[in-house]
Amino acid sequence: MSVSGTQAIDRAAALLSLVVYADHPCSYGDLVAETGLARSTASRLLAALERHHLLGRDAAGGYHPGSLFAVHAARHEPTEALVRAAEPFLDEVNHATGETVNLAVPSGEGVVQVAQVDSTFQLGAGNWVGVQVPPHCSALGKVLYAYEAIPAPRGRLERRTERTVATPAELERQLGEVRSRGFAYTHGELEEGLDGVAAPVRGRDGTVLAALGVSGPSFRMVDSLDEIAALVVSQSDRLSLDMGYHPDHPAHPRPTRRQQQ
């Protein structure tokens, strides 16, 4: 390798190290100042690191470790890696809606929420991190049921409100609609006046790892359901890609018959 080639690798590694060890996203100006690189050189190297998913950028343009780190970490610390990878997507949904945004993962036969961005409104949903709720009452839970991330319930279901689905047969009908639409929603099923929308997050092999969702008061959510659902699906799809999912990859399994219904 030529001296110039080695020098380029050293400079790129210096930029990458600064971002990885930083406690917060690094601005372009800070990276130029820290390394002493010419702005054109720094710009070219940063673009290459971003192109190869070693770096990413947040909504404000700050650089953070890229999705390649999340894919590697997911093999060893799957939940922690997923939460780190999900942060910019949760923030994006929260910025666009102002509502509470959550990430939930399977936990035995239930669902636990592992990350949250709080509502910007004074009246918003509470803190759900670490709290388990009946999956059939929540949009997050319905997503994980629909894609077989958690086993289907048996027998009559707990009624939290008059709107809560009561039987496995009725729940299965709703889950078929979830698979058809690509997202789930709830309207006052866990608590009166609380609505939710959620979509699946997939891993490398195409299986559903988690659900990303929004919750908020019905009076704010009901008139913008379609827009919120489109946003949640878009951000969940982007997070899935960052977790290594490629929908056209031949190694990924075809949907089960249940998922095709």
Give the other-Cβ count within 10 Å of 208's Cβ. Answer: 23
The vertex-56 CA angle with 202 and 68, nearest 5°, equals: 50
Same-domain check for residues 130 and 243: yes
Overall average pLDDT of the 192-210 stretch: 93
Helix ranges, the chain (H): 3-21, 28-35, 39-51, 67-74, 78-97, 139-146, 168-181, 218-221, 225-242, 257-260
What is the per-residue pLDDT across 66-76, written as a single tens digit (0 to 9) for each?
A: 777 766 555 54
Cβ pair 211, 104 in contact under 8 A: yes
Q: Give the CATH number of the domain where residue 57 resides.
A: 1.10.10.10
Residue range(s) defining the domain that contains residue 46? 3-65
Whether residue 160 lies inside any domain: the answer is yes
Q: What is the pTM of this model?
A: 0.67
What is the per-residue pLDDT across 133-190, written as a single tens digit (0 to 9) for each?
A: 789 999 999 999 999 999 988 878 888 899 999 899 999 999 999 999 999 999 999 9
Q: Give the CATH number of the domain where residue 121 resides.
A: 3.30.450.40
pLDDT beyond 50 at 258: no
Whether residue 205 lies inside any domain: the answer is yes
Total number of domains constituting the chain: 2
Same-domain check for residues 172 and 105: yes
Whether residue 71 lies inside any domain: the answer is no
What is d(CA 201, CA 160) in angstroms, rounded to the nearest whole number? 27
Same-domain check for residues 48 and 159: no
Task: For residue 75, give both structure tokens.
Answer: 């093999």
> What is the pLDDT, as a whole number, of residue 250?
46
Same-domain check for residues 61 and 86: no
Cβ pair 101, 213 in contact under 8 A: yes
Whether residue 208 lies inside any domain: the answer is yes
What is d(CA 66, CA 218) in angstroms, rounded to the nearest whole number? 36
CA quadruple 208, 84, 140, 236: dihedral sign: negative
What is d(CA 42, CA 211) in angstroms, rounded to the nearest whole number? 37
Whether residue 70 lies inside any domain: the answer is no
What is the per-residue pLDDT across 29-78, written as a single tens digit (0 to 9) for each?
A: 999 998 999 999 999 999 999 888 888 888 788 898 877 776 655 554 56
pLDDT beyond 80 at 197: yes
Same-domain check for residues 52 and 149: no
CA atoms within 13 A on the CB side of 183: 22
> What is the pLDDT, as a whole number, of residue 85?
87
Whether residue 72 lies inside any domain: the answer is no
Same-domain check for residues 87 and 191: yes
Same-domain check for residues 137 and 41: no
Same-domain check for residues 166 and 56: no
What is the per-residue pLDDT across 73-129, written as a single tens digit (0 to 9) for each?
A: 555 456 777 888 899 999 999 999 999 999 999 988 888 889 999 988 866 556 656
Same-domain check for residues 122 and 155: yes
Same-domain check for residues 183 and 139: yes
CA atoms within 13 A on the CB side of 32: 11
Burial of 117: CB neighbours in 10 Å, binned 0-12, 13-18, 19+: buried
Same-domain check for residues 13 and 99: no
